[in-house]
Structure 1
Amino acid sequence: MSKYVASTGRRRFIAGTLTTLATAGVTPFAIGKEKPLVRVMGTHVTLQEALRQQAMQDLGIRLSFSPGGSASVLQKASMNPAGFDLYEQWSNSINVLWRAGAIAPIDVKRLTYWDEINSLSKTGKITASARTGAGDAPHKIINVQPDHTLGSRQTGYISFLPYVHNVDSFGYNLDVLDPSFKPEQESWGWLLDSRFSGHVAIVNDPTIGLFDLALAAQAKGFVKFNDIGSITHQELDELFKLLIELKQSDHFAGFWNSVPESVQFMRSRRVHIESMFSPAVSALNGQNIPVRFAAPQEGYRGWHGVMCLSSKTTGRVRDAAYDYMNWWLSGWPGAFIARQGYYISNPQRSAQYLSEAEWNYWYKGLPASEPLRGTDGNISVQQGEQRTGGSYEDRFSNVAVWNTVMPTYEYSLQKWYEFITS
Structure 2
Amino acid sequence: MTRSLRARFAIVAVVTALAAAGAVGGAVQGLFERHVEREMLAELDADLRFLVRVLAAQDGSATLTVQPLPDPRFQEPLSGLYWQVRHDETGTVLRSPSLAGFEIPLPADSLRAGDRHRHIVIGPERGKMIVLERRVANGAGAPAGYRVAVAMDRKVMEAANRAFVMDLLPVLASIGAGLMAAFALQGAIALWPVQRARQALRDLRAGRRDRLGGALPAELEGLAADFDGMLDAQRHSTRLARERAADLAHGLRTPLALLGARTRELRERGEAEAAAAIEAVTAGIDARITRELARAHIRGPGPRSGPTPLAPAVARIAGALARMPAGGDLAWRQAIPPALLAPVDEGDLTELLGALLENAAHWARSEVCITATAEPGAVVLLIEDDGPGIPAQHRAAALARGVRLDPDRSGTGLGLAIADDIIRAYGGALRLEEAAQGGLRVRISLPSQN
Specify which structure has the bigger relative contact order, considering alpha-carbon pairs within 8 angstroms and separated by 6 or more residues.
1
TM range (shorter): under 0.3
Over alpha carbons, which structure has the higher Rg? 2
* TM-score, normalization by structure 1: 0.20
- Normalised to the residue count of structure 2, the TM-score between the two structures is 0.19
